[in-house]
Amino acid sequence: MAYSDKILKKSIDPTVHQMLARAQELGLETAWDRYEAMLPECGFGELGVCCRNCNMGPCRISPFEDAGPKRGVCGATADIIVARNLIRMIAAGAAAHSDHGRDLAHTLLMTAEGKGGGYEIRDEQKLQTLAAEYNISTEGRSKEEIALDLAGAVYAEFGKQEGPIRFSRRAPRKRVDLWQKLGIDPRGVDREIVEIMHRTHIGVDNDPVNLILQGLRASIADGWGGSMIATEISDVLFGTPKPTRSLANLGVLKADEVNIIVHGHEPTLSEMIVAASRDAELLALAAKLGAKGINVVGLCCTGNEVLMRHGIPIAGNFLQQELAVITGAVEAIIVDVQCIMPALGNLTGCFHTKFISTSPKAKFPGAIHIEFHEDQAYDIAKEIVRGAVENYRWRKPGQVVIPDEKVECLVGFSTEAILAALGGSLEPLLEQIKSGAIKGLAGVVGCNNPKVQHDFGHVNLVKELIRNNVLVVTTGCNAIACAKVGLMLPEAAAQAGDGLKVVCQSLGIPPVLHMGSCVDISRILTVCAAVASALGVDISDLPVAGAAPEWMSEKAVSIGSYVVSSGIFTVLGTVPPVLGSTAVTELLTTGAKEAIGATFAVEPDPFQAAQLMISHIEDKRAALGL
């Protein structure tokens, strides 16, 4: 089928073209339509020079030399306003990911107390390893007793008044010393977030550099604290991911089965939805209603969680959530927190689809709210799945349009799985880097954004990197984009440069390694820290780089900040709201190099972005004498 240029320019994914045409035909709106309705976007907001932090405003600082005010009512300059706005984004992003970690600590606590509602400790070895890291006694004790102490210890990381955060000591000594020198070694996760909110209140911190440093401190508390806790406790409870094969894209929906989508970010609910979907009673009910089975698929990072642990197919990334509903084949879309569009309420009302919210933190217009509690986890999940199965009878076959596209992928490369692929040691990887077969590593992550062509930046940046012998590790929506085009198969090594191709073929791995959901960027940090420690250098000395080609969320601002604070040069594909301040822009793109050994760059063109990353990697190789 031929599609208009307007539709083709929105995405590189043919399933998106098909479903956008379908939406147009049905008169349904999507995120792309709502974005176009916003144009032209507020220029002050795009530059970051608007302030609503008190009721004397809102204040807007003119970006033009000879026109408009240069200070807010309180006297704040563009530099102050941009810095305050930026670190408030960091605070929100750090709060979101770290709250994810706190919820998992709570689940571990309840499981240890025997109140887990169906949860169990699946990776006892990781439990033992983490206990040792926290100096928790393990000899002669049950796993539940150890888990109880571990849950208490990680809980304390959020509210402690003085540092350090335990996992931050996984960073190389040189990096920790630098954080301490700059005064950004984090204390408790919550303390750093609260301090941002205090400092950005009217009349408190009005020094742009001091503000940015506190933003970096909070982001480190997120990356090396809350997010890392989320990853590690998920592994203890649900199992550490190992390579597994699955499928990706909207074609994973099935015309003859009950389709349930899990969407959001926290794995506690989705784990139980997967378990309940295999319940004999519910499978029998589905058969009675004419369905051949119950098909659970994922979206976004909840999808990544069950993809890498159970091989549950993934239907798409952030901008495909509405399109999945428009297939007409979804009985229920079940959500927890983060990246869930409130527009789903109106949209699901146009179909038979049930939109079910489950978190007390996240209610949505038009949703059925079934609150999820860990102590009744399996029973609640079974109730939700039963409702989806019963809804199958109301599906209208004439409304069902499922794209054909689905691609096989190999996922689940946790840090432990990467080490296993290397024979249990980093030495083979180091040798390949030293020889030049692998030039370096790139962590490519992040969201989708309707401002740019969907998946174009993700896919083309990664293709250019592997073509130049850079091994890519990925999480979140980038990981899903790569899966949909076959880059997560060992056969994709044919698209890599000669050196990387040989390495991948010898190990039987793809040139793009799926490391999980957004919080699992913490896995990338631990890999970089381990490589740096093995070489006796800081992370900033390594031939590594990061990128977020299509980022849009406040979480991405926190992620980018802790990645740069860890010493990794990072390229952003969409422009952050900082250009209204020359001082803040220069600090982030040049000045930070001297202070923390890494900077941001902004480059919307993925091919140019790849060249920036490759050039950086080559410079680091030369400095190491490689």
Q: How confident is the model at residue 1 (pLDDT cuts 50, 70, 90)?
A: confident
In this predicted structure, which of 49-63, 251-265, 563-577 has the lowest mean pLDDT?
A: 49-63
Token pair in block for residue 377: 């986890």
Q: What pLDDT, on the 0 to 100 scale, is given for residue 216? A: 98
300 labeled part of a ligand binding site: no
b/e per residue 205-225 (b: at least 16 CB within 10 A): bbebeebbbbbbbbbbbbbbb
Q: DSSP for 19-66?
A: HHHHHHHHT---HHHHHHHHPSPPHHHHHT-EE-SSTT--EE--SSTT
* CATH 1.20.1270.30 domain locations along the chain: 82-238
Annotated ligand binding at 42? The verdict is yes
Give span(s): CATH 3.40.50.2030, the chain: 250-399, 415-623
| pLDDT single digits (tens) 454-490 | 999 999 999 999 999 999 999 999 999 999 999 999 9
| Residue 518, marked binder | yes
Q: Strand 314-316 and strand 332-335: pairing?
A: unpaired
* pLDDT at residue 451, rounded to an integer: 96
**Residue 528, annotated ligand binder?**
no
pLDDT at residue 65 tops 90? no
For the domain covering 415-623, report its CATH number.
3.40.50.2030
The pLDDT of residue 69: 87
Question: How many helices and strands, by DSSP H and E, does the chain display?
Answer: 27, 16
How, if at all, do strands 59-60 and 244-248 pair?
Answer: unpaired
pLDDT for 230-274, tens place per residue? 999 999 999 999 999 999 999 999 999 999 999 999 999 999 999
Angle, CA of 37, 43 and 48, to the nearest 5°: 120
pLDDT in tens, 184-230: 999 999 999 999 999 999 999 999 999 999 999 999 999 999 999 99
User: Model-level pTM?
Assistant: 0.96
Report which secondary-structure segment, H or E, holds 513. strand 512-516
**CATH class of the structural domain 250-399:** alpha beta
Supply the pLDDT for residue 128: 97
pLDDT for residue 403 is more than 90: yes
Helix axes 78-112, 143-159, angle to 10 degrees: 160
Which pLDDT score, from 0 to 100, does residue 625 have?
A: 94
Task: Residue 224: name the closest of 173, 179, 183, 166 by CA.
Answer: 166
Q: Which fold has domain 82-238?
A: Substrate Binding Domain Of Dnak; Chain:A; Domain 2 (1.20.1270)
Average pLDDT, the chain: 96
**More confident of the two residues 64 and 550:** 550
The pLDDT > 90 percentage for the chain reads 97
Kind plus residue range of the DSSP H or E element containing 600: strand 600-602
Burial of 140: CB neighbours in 10 Å, binned 0-12, 13-18, 19+:
exposed
pLDDT band at 67 (very low <50, low <70, confident <90, very high): confident
Is residue 504 marked as binding? no
> What digits encode the pLDDT tens for the residues 84-123?
999 999 999 999 999 999 999 999 999 999 999 999 999 9
For the segment 24-53, what is each residue's pLDDT rounded down to a tens digit? 999 999 999 999 999 999 999 999 999 999
Any binding-site annotation on 409?
Answer: no
List pLDDT tens digits, range 480-527.
999 999 999 999 999 999 999 999 999 999 999 999 999 999 999 999
Return the residue matching tokens 């969907």: 454
The pLDDT > 70 percentage for the chain reads: 100
